Amino acid sequence: MGHTDSVLLKMEGVSSGYGRVEILHEVSLEVRQGTITCLVGPNGAGKSTILKTIQGFLRPTQGRIAFEGQEITGHPPHTLLGLGIASVPQGRQVFPEMTVLENLEMGAFTVHDRQIVHRALEQVYALFPRLRERRHQQAGTLSGGEQQMLAIGRALLVEPTLAHMDEPSLGLAPRFVDQIFETIVDLKRQGITILMVEQNAKRALAVADWGYVLELGKNRLEETGQWLLHNPEVRRMYLGG
């Protein structure tokens, strides 16, 4: 595998935004196969906008996005899901009236082979035994941490190559925060490439292979997670001292 072969997702000079308001200004980034890549930066920097643009909810006005070497710029969300790009949006979005199992099965709506669905379900239950125990419980009655496991589990039902997650630890009790970061490392071990945005930048950079610092919708800095974590200026400016 050559240098460029290992780039799973590539954004090149992407501008994007809401209506006429441009939020991302020629953002470029690469996510390498098998890594954890983390986006950090102040509130409003455009981190969530990057994920929404990758997933096809927002259409770039400039630049291109490629996945496994194929252009996916402007492709609609379900197509990207079909290619193996799974999204865990911000805010633990589960269907509260549906059971855990029904929620998980919703994640597999693009998968028509029941055997694959069954295999993926078993993998999710192995990762989160809690979800198996509670499979017939209404999702709305789960704790916040359990709902986040469910949101991650649902994304895994397509057996993704790349999973992107927006603030997976936000608002969770400390023991669940630990568990979410352990899960992310587990997913990497299983060969799933991770792109994540985290408020908890120190925790995220500690497990990240590569990090991007974004500011005002632009690339500011990129380096290894460890370098960013230990750089005094980065710590002071972006990691709260």
Sequence letter at residue 196: M
Q: Do residues 103 and 149 touch, judged by C-beta distance below 8 A?
A: no
47 binding ligand ADP? (CB under 6 A) = yes
43 binding ligand ADP? (CB under 6 A) = yes
Size of the site for ligand ADP (CB under 6 A): 10
* Binding range to ligand ADP, per CB under 6 A, among 29-37, 38-46, 168-176, 202-210: 38-46
Residues 7-36, mask of contacts with ligand ADP (x by CB under 6 A): -----------x----x-------------
Q: Do residues 173 and 123 touch, judged by C-beta distance below 8 A?
A: no
Residue 90 CB, shortest distance to Mg ion, in Å, is 6
Q: Which of 51, 45, 27 is nearest to 168 (CA)?
A: 51
Site for Mg ion in 31-50 (CB under 5 A): 47-48
Q: Do residues 162 and 85 touch, judged by C-beta distance below 8 A?
A: yes
Of these, 15, 48, 138, 219, which contacts ligand ADP (CB under 6 A)? 48
H helices of 74-213, in order, are 77-83, 100-106, 114-127, 129-133, 144-156, 174-189, 201-207
- The residues binding Mg ion (CB under 5 A) are 47-48
Which residues are at the interface with ligand ADP (CB under 6 A)?
18, 23, 41, 43-49
